[in-house]
Structure 1
Amino acid sequence: MERSSGKRRYDETLLAVVIILIAIGLVMLYSTSSYNGEVKFHDPFYYLKKQGFATFVGFLGMVIVSRVDYHRWAVLAIPGYLTAIALSVAVMFFGDEYNGSKRWLSLGPVSFQPSEFAKVAVILFLAWSVTKYAKKMDKFRTLVLAMLPVLPIAALVGASNLSTAIIILGIAVVLIFVASPKYSQFIWMGSAAVAFMAVFLAMESYRLERIAIWRNPEQYEKGYQTLQGLYAIGSGGLFGRGLGNSVQKLGFLPEAQNDMIFSIICEELGLVGAGIIILLFFLLIWRFFVIATKAPDLLGALIASGAMAHMMIQVILNIAVVTNSIPNTGITLPFISYGGTSVLFLLLEMGLVLSVSGLIE
């Protein structure tokens, strides 16, 4: 992308898709959460106001981050990595527990998920560290050394949030894969990842229970949410019941505004509406790929590749869970599911990618 008169010219397509997804997310969040907001808090706008505020702060952060040369953010790679570890440890000891998992830290009236910060921290840290090892990435020992710092974060996060640990490991593998000239070495890395997953599945009984629920949701009380989500998808048909006309969100599908919001999208907007949203995500991932291939240097390429891996893995996991293609993992749909921490750090991540696009000749 060309620059004129010394001014940066950002990837307009990426920015436009992000804004469209944010707008769709806020509309669908209000449609999905207004009933719950009225019942629980006597305010149908309760969830929308909180999400809207986080989105506003995140958008401002995205603008600020995008205007700074991404090379300057590299100095925060190590502090960000150490902060992610410290916050993950703090969650284990001081975290707030919801639905049997400790994932939130509270600072006065504000609560947030450190795992969302960890995703961005890992992208920046690995982009910086892999750049340092760039000339030695053909050696298996170097791949291991590059991967090792990610394991403590993945382990700490995975103790209470396996799905986010999977995303973090996935981001790491993609970044190292992009920088490595040899592909055969990833067979060993894949084997190690499978072993890592097996250990974490065995550590907590509720994870094995989720596999059983996934196979036969109708036989378990905890399979109720999955079944209601599938009912919502099936009842939407081709064009849906219409925006705001979902039946499943009226108390039948628990916490519909969170991980299962895609099922309400299918119910209200049908296969066509859901397909358009998937297409928008595909377009977003494609722009990450274009920016990565045209980036001025390896650091920029790795930042864009990390964002691409993050978005791709998280969208696939969320939709796979909602359609019961994989066991329930508790992963949100980027920009659309309710979650202030998620949308805030996603927008900061978009700012980093826009910063890379602004320096493309």
Structure 2
Amino acid sequence: MIAVVLILLVIGLVVLYSTSAYNGSVKFHDPFYYLKKQGFATLLGLLGMMFVAGIDYRRWSVLAVPGYLTAIALSVAVMLFGDEYNGSKRWLSLGPVSFQPSEFAKVAVILFLACLVSRYAGKIGKFKYLVLMMLPVLPIVALVGASNLSTAIIILGIAVVLVFVASPKYSQFIWMGSAGVAFMAIFLAMESYRLERIAIWRNPENYEKGYQTLQGLYAIGSGGLFGRGLGNSVQKLGFVPEAQNDMIFSIICEELGLVGAGIIILLFLLLIWRLFVIATRAPDLKGALIASGAMAHMMIQVILNIAVVTNTIPNTGITLPFISYGGTSILFLLLEMGLVLSVSSRTE
């Protein structure tokens, strides 16, 4: 698992520099601008991962409730005092440092639900307790979803997977899934811009906002089997907006081709498999749930990002783990991996 994470980090930094050098030169007169910030966050995250991995994961249980309440408080703060960027209010600034509380919320939800579900595992077979396990997650999903629908979907998906892992019955998840679909339909209909995204997804060439999607598809198509070569992308030269963020997979396809993109997908599959193995060998249910939560997070986020870039689903603005630019994302992802390593090192 450590090997796969480190390989993804190295690939991420190399691809990020290749993708962001042009934007860095144009906006900040420094081609290394994005790489330096991402490199610092990665180093900080690796140190945090080693620190968290060295502590017994059971000792973090005392921080589960305070961590979850902090995530709610930060989400409220984003709504009231958050910084808006590209039409989305997702960031909080503390002096020169800005971060996304929604990234912290993912880790907080995994730890909180792992403790909660393991405590009431014997009763979770009853539908009433199943609903009670999901209720505490809804406030954070609603708060995050107000400005960041994709992250809210990830958090809700993590919660469903954790409850599913602990539940002895599967039939009741059919009702939960039906309720989820109905909720999503109402949620999408509440705001006209969400319905507009669906229209753009179906016919991106008919809308000005479909420009990013089309340019990303041009990048993917022009890459062919082996790509143009690392650093030789044309679409990153201002055609794909913010190419180093959500759309970085399209530049990977253009520069490294289907083969390079396939290798990166294979690395993610290996990481997800290792997280699954650690979950099945965990010494207790709490450890299994922590590893399962990290597995669900990785799986959902990778699938959503690649699906958005290839226009398989409507554009939701979601990063590719370990590769897309984002200091907060890389930091909390590595802390999450540290929690899983703590579970793995205590497996008998």
TM-score range, shorter chain: over 0.9
Counterpart position of 2:312: 325
8 Å contact from structure 1 (residues 92, 102) kept in 2: yes
1:336 to 305, 316, 323: 323
Distance 1:155 1:198 in 2: 14
**Alpha-carbon distance, 1:152 to partner:** 0.2
What percentage of residue pairs aligned between the two structures are identical?
87
RMSD, matched Cα: 0.6
Distance 2:146 2:187 in 1: 8
Tell whether 2:299 aligns with 1:312.
Answer: yes
Distance 1:118 1:203 in 2: 24
Distance 1:232 1:209 in 2: 24
> For residues 86-105 of structure 1, what are the structure 2 equivalents within 5 Å?
86-105=73-92
**Alpha-carbon distance, 1:200 to partner:** 2.2
8 Å contact from structure 1 (residues 159, 200) kept in 2: no
Instruction: Report SS of the residue matched to 2:259.
Output: helix
Counterpart position of 2:223: 236
Query: Where does structure 2 lack aligned partners over 5 or more consecutive residues?
Result: none
Tell whether 2:107 aligns with 1:120.
Answer: yes
1:148 to 135, 139, 162: 135
Counterpart position of 1:293: 280
Distance 2:83 2:187 in 1: 21
**Alpha-carbon distance, 1:205 to partner:** 1.7
Provide, for residues 119-163 of structure 1, a one-character-per-residue CA deviation record: whole Å limited to 9, x for no partner: 000000000000111100110001000000000000000000111
Tell whether 2:55 aligns with 1:68.
Answer: yes
Provide, for residues 274-301 of structure 1, a one-character-per-residue CA deviation record: whole Å limited to 9, x for no partner: 0000000000000000000000000000
Distance 1:137 1:218 in 2: 48
Counterpart position of 2:256: 269
1:248 to 196, 217, 235: 235
8 Å contact from structure 1 (residues 163, 329) kept in 2: yes
Counterpart position of 1:58: 45
Counterpart position of 2:269: 282
1:139 to 126, 141, 147: 126
Distance 1:261 1:127 in 2: 32
Paired residue type of 1:211 = I
8 Å contact from structure 1 (residues 162, 200) kept in 2: no
**Alpha-carbon distance, 1:204 to partner:** 2.2
Distance 1:33 1:200 in 2: 35
Query: Where does structure 1 lack aligned partners over 5 or more consecutive residues?
Result: 1-13
> For residues 167-246 of structure 1, what are the structure 2 equivalents within 5 Å?
167-246=154-233
TM norm structure 1 = 0.96
Runs of 4 or more, structure 1, over 4 Å off, are none
Counterpart position of 1:6: none
Distance 1:298 1:353 in 2: 13
8 Å contact from structure 1 (residues 47, 338) kept in 2: yes
**Alpha-carbon distance, 1:89 to partner:** 0.4
Paired residue type of 1:140 = F
Query: How many residues are matched?
Result: 348
Distance 1:205 1:104 in 2: 23
Distance 2:189 2:85 in 1: 21
Instruction: Report SS of the residue matched to 2:91.
Output: strand
Distance 1:343 1:221 in 2: 31
Provide, for residues 219-243 of structure 1, a one-character-per-residue CA deviation record: whole Å limited to 9, x for no partner: 0011000000000000000000000
**Alpha-carbon distance, 1:74 to partner:** 1.1
TM norm structure 2 = 0.99
8 Å contact from structure 1 (residues 236, 271) kept in 2: yes
Counterpart position of 1:16: 3
> For residues 70-85 of structure 1, what are the structure 2 equivalents within 5 Å?
70-85=57-72
8 Å contact from structure 1 (residues 311, 334) kept in 2: yes
**Alpha-carbon distance, 1:198 to partner:** 1.9
8 Å contact from structure 1 (residues 158, 200) kept in 2: no
Provide, for residues 284-343 of structure 1, a one-character-per-residue CA deviation record: whole Å limited to 9, x for no partner: 000000000000000000000000000000000000000000000100000000000000
**Alpha-carbon distance, 1:203 to partner:** 2.6
**Alpha-carbon distance, 1:196 to partner:** 2.2
Distance 1:203 1:273 in 2: 40
Counterpart position of 1:9: none
**Alpha-carbon distance, 1:98 to partner:** 1.2
